Amino acid sequence: MNGMMKCVIKAAPGPGNLELVERAIPQVGPNDVLVKVHSLAVCGTDVHIMHWNEFASTRMTPPTIIGHEFSGEVVECGALVKQIKIGDAVSAETHIVCNTCDVCHNGNAHVCPHTSVIGLSRDGALAEYISIPASNAVVFEKFASWEELSLMEPYVAAVHAATQFSVAGKTVAVIGCGPIGAMGVGIAKKCGASNVIAIEPVAERGKMALLMGADSLIDPIKEDVAKAVPAANGGNKIDVVLDFSGNVGAIASSLSYIKPEGKIAVLGLSDKKLSFQLDEFVYRGITLKGIAGRRMYQDWETGKGLLAGGLDLSHIITHKLPMSEFQEGLRLMEHGECCKCVLIP
C-alpha cells in the first residue's frame, strides 16, 4: 500500500526523543502481512525506551517506531501468504525468531537466541500500520474489543507462567499484580486453583487482583509474608508461586511459605542477583522455572481457549487515549497510575 502514516518514533538515543511523525506506510514482503493498527497497549518496555536505560539502549538503534502490544486488521497479504486473509483480526507474537537454529528446531523458539523484537530491535506498532511476518500474526475469530485484543501479547506471557505447572486444585501465591500479574491471577483461577493469594504493595493494584478473582490480598510492606501466606491458606504452606514482580527479595522469601516439592515460575525481570539458601532449595525439592515470552504457539492457543471459556480481561484496561496523547500514556504507565493504558492510532 502506498501513502503516508502517522507513527511515534524514538528519534535518537538518550532520554526522551519520542516524536509523532509521518512516515511511508511499510512495504510488505512476500511472507508478510500489513496490519491496520486499531489499538496499542503501552508497556513498561516503552517507558524503558523513553528513559533510555541499559535494557533499551543495548537493544534499539533509533530511529525506530515504538510499541509492540497491538491489535488490528489485515489489509494486505504478501504473495506467499496462504493462511491469513485480508480482513482478519489479529494480534501478534512480538518475537520474530529465526526458525532455523537448534533451539527453534527443538520446539523452543520462545528462547531463540536470534530473536528480533517488534518495537525494540525493529519498527513497532504505535503507528497507523505495521508490516509483520504472517507467521507472527495470530488470528482471533472471536474477541471482545480491539482494545482487549491489544492485550494479548502480555496476557499470553501470563498464560505461559500460570500454566507452566498444574494449578488445578492447588494453592497459588501470585507475587506482583501489575497488569501481567493481575492477568495471571485470573488465569490461575480459571485453571482451577483452589486458593489464589495475591501479594502486592500498591493498593490500587491489589484491588485489581481481587477484581481478577484473587481469594485474598497481602501487602508485603505491612505484613510478613512468611506468616501471612500460610495464614491466608488455613495455616498451610502453598503449592505454586508465580512471580510477576521481578523483586528478588520477594522471590527468595517465597521459600519460607512454599511446600516441599513446590513449584516457582518467575516471569518478572530484574538485573539484581537472586540468592537463597541452597540446601533449603535442594532438600525440599523445589523447582524454579524462568518464563520467557510465550511458547509458540501453544500458549496463544491456550490463551484463546481460556477467553472462550469466559475469562474476562476487560478490567485490565483502565485508560484509553488517542495516539497523539502518547506522552500521557507513557506517564500513566511510568507512575503506575493505570493498569493498562491503550492508545488508538
> Residue count at the site for ligand NAD (CB under 6 A)?
27
Among 11, 211, 288, 292, binds ligand NAD (CB under 6 A): 292
Applying CB under 6 A, the span of 33-41, 243-251, 308-316, 317-325 interacting with ligand NAD comes to: 243-251
- Which residues 67-126 are close enough to bind ligand NAD by CB under 6 A? none
Q: Please answer whether residues 293 and 160 qualify as being in contact, where contact means their C-beta atoms are separated by less than 8 angstroms.
A: yes
Q: Which residues, including other chains, have CB under 8 Å from residue 301's CB and lie 6 or more apart? A: none
CA atoms within 13 A on the CB side of 229: 26
Q: What is the CA radius of gyration of the chain?
A: 20
Q: What gap in Å lies between CA 183 and CA 313, rounded to an integer?
A: 7
Instruction: Select the span of 20-28, 74-82, 141-149, 240-248 touching ligand NAD (CB under 6 A).
Output: 240-248
Non-local CB neighbours of 42 within 8 Å, separated by 6+ positions: 67, 69, 326, 329, 330, 332, 333, 338, 340, 341, 342, 343
- In the shown chain, the binding pattern of residues 200 to 239 toward ligand NAD, with x for contact by CB under 6 A and - for none, equals xxx--x--------------x-------------------
Q: For the window 253-272, what string marks contact with ligand NAD as x by the rule CB under 6 A?
A: --------------xxx---
DSSP 8-state symbol, 233 = T
**Cα angle vertex 138, ends 136, 140, to 5°?**
170
User: Residue 98's binding partner, choosing from ligand NAD, Zn ion, none, with beta-carbon cut-off 5 to 8 A by kind?
Assistant: Zn ion
Taking the C-alpha atoms of residue 62 and residue 344, their distance in angstroms, rounded to an integer, is 23
Number of residues in contact with Zn ion under rule CB under 5 A: 9
Task: Please identify which residue in 47, 56, 84, 104 interacts with Zn ion, judged by CB under 5 A.
Answer: 104
Q: Could you confirm whether 315 is annotated as catalytic?
A: no
Give residues 29-48 in contact with ligand NAD (rule: CB under 6 A). 44
In which order are the strands placed within the sheet that holds 287-290?
Answer: 216-218, 195-199, 171-175, 238-243, 258-266, 287-290
Q: Which does 63 bind (CB under 5 to 8 A by kind): ligand NAD, Zn ion, none?
A: none
Q: Does 43 bind Zn ion (CB under 5 A)?
A: yes
Decide if 110 is catalytic.
no
Q: Determine the interface stretch with ligand NAD among 81-89, 227-235, 241-249, 278-286 (rule: CB under 6 A).
A: 241-249
Which residues face 6 on adjacent strands? Answer: 22
User: Catalytic residue numbers?
Assistant: 45, 48
| Residues binding ligand NAD (CB under 6 A) | 44, 154, 157, 175-181, 199-202, 205, 220, 244-247, 250, 267-269, 291-293
| Residues binding Zn ion (CB under 5 A) | 43, 45, 69, 97-98, 101, 104, 112, 114
